[in-house]
Structure 1
């Protein structure tokens, strides 16, 4: 599994396994699901606007006060 975050694009990518031939299903909630074309198995997710939702910052590493969530 490989997890990566593009801070500039605010996109979180989760690759469950490598796949040469995949289809991507676009959902209305900002989540893209990648599936193996041959087996239909889910091989990854892309989460758009991971750090912000409707202009409100979500606490990824710390909250507004700079304190990490517990």
Structure 2
């Protein structure tokens, strides 16, 4: 009985980390958009970087929630 419960917890933790793949794609999209926007209008460098850091932080928050669920 105890082995079944432990293996179910391990499977659940593995499934909870699937959300990290989406976070990896999201971070790539955020920084890819920064490169494209900077190439179009270099004068907005500081404002674009501020928005990028905000987008990165929000995307990484999802990763932290997924890891929190995995380790719970």
Return the TM-score normalized by structure 1: 0.26
| Structure that is richer in strand per residue | 1
Compare relative contact order (CA 8 Å, sep 6+) and give the higher one, 1 or 2.
Answer: 2
| Structure that is richer in helix per residue | 2
